[in-house]
Amino acid sequence: MSYRALIVDDEQISRRIIHTFLRDEPAVEVVGEAANGTEAVLQILQLRPDLVFLDVQMPELDGFEVLREVWPHHQPFVVFTTAYDAYALRAFEVSATDYLLKPFDRLRFQQAVERVKQALAPRRAAAPRPALPPLLAAVGPPPGFLQRLLVKEQRRLFFVKTADILYFEADRNYLRVHTATGTHLIYQSLTQLEPQLAPLDFTRISRSCIVGLNHIAELETYFNGEYLVKLHNGETLKWTRSYRDNLSAFHGAPG
């Protein structure tokens, strides 16, 4: 029985050491590597490994933030690898299978792999591993408001920064995410999305539209208490009367 592994570490030498140690483990196939948190999320969701060797301190997203992003979609077994023992307790609180403190030797690494293989065997024979409430509780909710959205298009997965989003437009059960470089479709409603957006950066201007305030060039009065919203890219949206109270967000937006 073989298992698929992903190596995540921002230090190339650390990735190389893990890769070298895994050559002695014929049951474990390395399917990819990632050098930062964002790459890790995309690789986990695309490759869906059984096991992730996951560094804690990394650029963009740390190891715990990576788990928070992927856990609703895929739940691999996790072996944390880090030079800091301060994270050990938190690692086990989020149900890590093992915790390797750098620098670790081959024997300690093999012990961690054996623990994973023992945990994986019954998983293969039984139902898929459920999402773990202790992990979600320990990692906690995302800090602040959304900074990026995960978009899936055909076989690609990628992030779109919320700062680059001109506006969101409802399209039945989907949302069209408009940026200066294109439009993406995500499965979510405006009502679900709205509380996750920073109110100084976004506001709802109609039943079907949330606009990025920093992309507004000017407002022009229209009929019946409505406004035309002119964006810097030349597009024009309508701010309807029903959402006129949200104009206070426009006045408070940074210049």
Give CA–CA dist 100/108, Å, rounded. 8
Q: Where are the beta strands (DSSP E) in the chain?
A: 3-8, 28-34, 51-55, 77-82, 98-101, 148-153, 156-161, 165-171, 174-179, 182-186, 202-206, 209-212, 216-221, 227-231, 236-239
Residue pointed to by tokens 């992030």: 159
3-state secondary structure of 82: strand
pLDDT at 95: 66
Token pair recorded at residue 206 = 């109609």
pLDDT band at 147 (very low <50, low <70, confident <90, very high): confident
Contacts of 118 (CB under 8 A, 6+ apart): none
At 34-45, the pLDDT tens digits run: 999 989 998 998
pLDDT band at 253 (very low <50, low <70, confident <90, very high): low
At 46-57, the pLDDT tens digits run: 899 999 999 988
Right CATH number for 3-139 from 1.10.3720.10, 1.20.1290.10, 3.40.50.2300, 3.30.1330.40? 3.40.50.2300
Amino acid at 151: V
pLDDT at 31: 95
pLDDT band at 131 (very low <50, low <70, confident <90, very high): very low
> For the residues of 99-127, what is the DSSP string, one character each?
EEESS--HHHHHHHHHHHHHHHHHHHHSS
pLDDT band at 143 (very low <50, low <70, confident <90, very high): low
CB 88 within 8 A of CB 99: yes
Alpha carbon dihedral 99, 104, 107, 108, in 10-degree steps, equals -20
C-alpha closest to that of 162 among 173, 151, 172 = 151
Give CA–CA dist 17/106, Å, rounded. 9
What are the angstrom distances between the C-alpha of 245 and each of 16, 58, 167, 179, 242? 57, 42, 18, 26, 8
Question: Phi, psi (5° rounding) for residue 244?
Answer: -65, -30
C-alpha closest to that of 55 among 110, 24, 14, 115 = 14
Task: Choose between 60 and 178: higher pLDDT.
Answer: 178
Give CA–CA dist 109/223, Å, rounded. 70
Percent of the chain with pLDDT over 90: 48
Please determine, for residue 178, whether its predicted confidence score (pLDDT) is greater than 80. Answer: yes
Please determine, for residue 132, whether its predicted confidence score (pLDDT) is greater than 70. Answer: no
Token pair recorded at residue 45 = 């969701």
Q: What is the mean pLDDT of residues 116-120?
A: 87
Kindly list the domain boundaries of the chain, sorted by start residue.
Answer: 3-139, 148-252
Q: Architecture of 148-252 per CATH?
A: Beta Barrel (2.40)
Say whether the peptide bond before residue 130 is cis (omega within 30 degrees of 0).
no
pLDDT band at 164 (very low <50, low <70, confident <90, very high): very high
Q: What is the mean pLDDT of residues 10-27?
A: 94
At 60-94, the pLDDT tens digits run: 888 888 888 888 788 899 999 988 776 666 665 66
